[in-house]
Structure 1
Amino acid sequence: MTDNIFATSVFFRLTIGGNDLGEFTTCSGLGAEVEIHQYAEGGNNGFSWQLPGRITWSNITLTRAVTADTAKIARWLDETVRRVQPKNGEIVALRPDLSPIVRWQVLGIVPVRWQGPSFDPASSQVAMESLEIAHVGLRPSS
């Protein structure tokens, strides 16, 4: 019998250029799409060749409740606005006890959007923030 551990209730730690930006509760957009070119070879009527082209990477969006780590994002954004320089980083999926499940190296990260919380005294909802980043590639990290 094999003990499989599945990523169920997880957190995601984001580090960019050596800056630990803290843990997030959701992470979406880990994905890629390969452009396929069809080539119909003369004299071959049975199929068309499927040739891979460019790869495009989805933007990644991470969300969490506002915490003291929100200031870390503000500092990183301020630093990036002064001098836009893509930096490598890492996203680590963590179990509830914060032990790592899997790691992805994220290459050439630049910010796309930060959405701060909406504060409404009539609502009892948790103040949430989201960070969207663009990048040029993902690699499994050990």
Structure 2
Amino acid sequence: MSDSFPIPAISLTKNPPVGFSFMVTFLIGGFVPNPLDIRFQRVSGISSTMETTEIREGGENLFSLRLPTRMTYGNLVLERGMVIGSSLNIEFNLAMSTMSFQPGNVLVMLLNAKDIPIASWLFQETYPVTWSVSDLDANQSSIVIDTMELAYARLQSLRI
């Protein structure tokens, strides 16, 4: 095998990474992690899509060109059991009730079995767009879940 061809990452490990060990870090002021609000039970919305514009060339009927125009992102959705006294809940409540937003950064890290980050996603200029609480039901004994949905300006994938 030639040294000029990189070895695919999947062949360097015995098993592919699992998605149940992760950590979410809210970066206050863009830099300092908030240690109080890092535990979530579910993270979704890690995605980006390239929008394209279709151009049809005159006289060419077999195909058209699709040119990239901009990146779009879904919302980052975070779910966790309700936390009493959370500074993150205070920030969300203030933003949602006063329409005063201070965009920040959020770092989601996938961890290996030794709790060492193996992949990360940095969400830049995040702000809350939805905050909901699960149903309260006297017929079920289930944990109350907070769901926080964040819009963001840019997603940077960081592979370690």
Question: TM-score range with shorter-chain normalisation?
Answer: 0.7 to 0.9
The residue that corresponds to 2:120 in the other structure is 103
TM-score by length of 1: 0.81
Does the aligned pair in 2 maintain the 1:13–1:94 contact within 8 Å? no
Deviation digits for residues 66-99 of structure 1 (CA, Å, limit 9, x no counterpart) = 235x613212224545531222221122346543
**SS of the residue aligned with 1:62?**
strand
TM-score by length of 2: 0.73
5+ residue gaps in structure 1? none
Return the alpha-carbon distance in structure 2 between the equivalents of residues 96 and 126 of structure 1: 26
Q: Which 4+ residue blocks in structure 1 deviate beyond 6 angstroms?
A: none
- Once the two structures are superposed, the pairs formed by residues 1-142 of structure 1 within 5 Å of their partners are 2-3=12-13, 4-17=15-28, 18-20=32-34, 21-68=37-84, 71-78=86-93, 80=95, 83-95=100-112, 98-141=115-158
Higher strand fraction (1 or 2): 1
What fraction of aligned residue pairs are identical, expressed as a percent?
Answer: 24
Partner secondary structure for residue 126 of structure 2: strand
Q: Secondary structure at the match of 1:102?
A: strand
How far apart are the structure 1 equivalents of 2:65 and 2:39? 44
Aligned pairs, number: 141
Report the structure number with the largest CA radius of gyration. Answer: 2
Q: Pairwise CA RMSD of aligned residues? A: 2.5
Ranges in structure 2 where 5+ consecutive residues have no aligned partner: 1-10
